[in-house]
Chain A
Amino acid sequence: TQLLEQSPQFLSIQEGENLTVYCNSSSVFSSLQWYRQEPGEGPVLLVTVVTGGEVKKLKRLTFQFGDARKDSSLHITAAQPGDTGLYLCAGAEYQGGSEKLVFGKGMKLTVNP
């Protein structure tokens, strides 16, 4: 099973700053998801990207899938305290004839007012 490497692992920024989170692997994924998990809660799906080079926007969040479908990035513009949480990427890959989901360790974001 291939690993998904997320960087940075931790980030503490001030309100209003921009940031980018990266998710990298040597595997090709059929799709890739981004989740956000707030303290004491389960992960919540933010977006799914499927096509190489695809860009999706969700308000101040911009998600991009790499052309080779091996990596992805999440860019947050003008971060707000409500963006605080653990950001997880997950890639779906075929293994042994079935599709499996591989999670990264996550990036813990703290946005200070």
Chain B
Amino acid sequence: ETGVTQTPRHLVMGMTNKKSLKCEQHLGHNAMYWYKQSAKKPLELMFVYSLEERVENNSVPSRFSPECPNSSHLFLHLHTLQPEDSALYLCASSQGRGTGELFFGEGSRLTVL
């Protein structure tokens, strides 16, 4: 496989569930990102990892918990979400932080009931 892959592509969960989104990049990049995409809003940066170290957390609620075990994998752990958290969650990677040249995965469409 090449590029950035995300699983699952679709997820429906209740407000009391715990689930995780997974992202894997096969590009040899050293920075990985989680973005949230909601209708009629710009892409919102959630977390940035550079060389497996979290370097940015944009005031994201604690019900979202990222994990980066190595430079190729990124997780987003979800628990006690709210219906307004329903959105498309996009993972991206880049060669070095600060470049605008991001390579995105196909996204995980999350619906919170």
Beyond A101-B45, A105-B40, is A40–B100 a contact (Cβ under 8 Å)?
no
Complex CA distance for A45 and B4, rounded to whole angstroms:
13
Chain A residue nearest to B9 in the complex (CB): A40
| Residue B47 lies at the interface, judged by CB distance under 8 Å to chain A | no
Lowest 5 CB-CB distances: which A-B pairs, in order? A42-B104, A99-B98, A92-B100, A103-B43, A103-B42
Q: Which B residues lie within 8 Å of A98 (CB)?
A: 97-98
B106 and A40 contacting across the interface, CB-CB below 8 Å = yes
> Shortest distance in angstroms between B103's beta carbon and chain A's nearest beta carbon?
7
Complex CA distance for A32 and B101, rounded to whole angstroms:
9
| Residue A4 lies at the interface, judged by CB distance under 8 Å to chain B | yes
Give A80-99 as 1s and 0s: 1 = Cβ < 8 Å from B's Cβ atoms: 00000000101110000011
| Residue A110 lies at the interface, judged by CB distance under 8 Å to chain B | no
Complex CA distance for A8 and B49, rounded to whole angstroms:
34
| Residue A52 lies at the interface, judged by CB distance under 8 Å to chain B | no
A-B contacts, 11 of them at CB < 8 A, read A32-B100, A42-B90, A42-B92, A42-B106, A42-B107, A48-B100, A90-B43, A98-B97, A98-B98, A99-B97, A105-B42
Q: Which B residues lie within 8 Å of A105 (CB)?
A: 40-42
Beyond A42-B90, A42-B107, is A88–B43 a contact (Cβ under 8 Å)?
yes
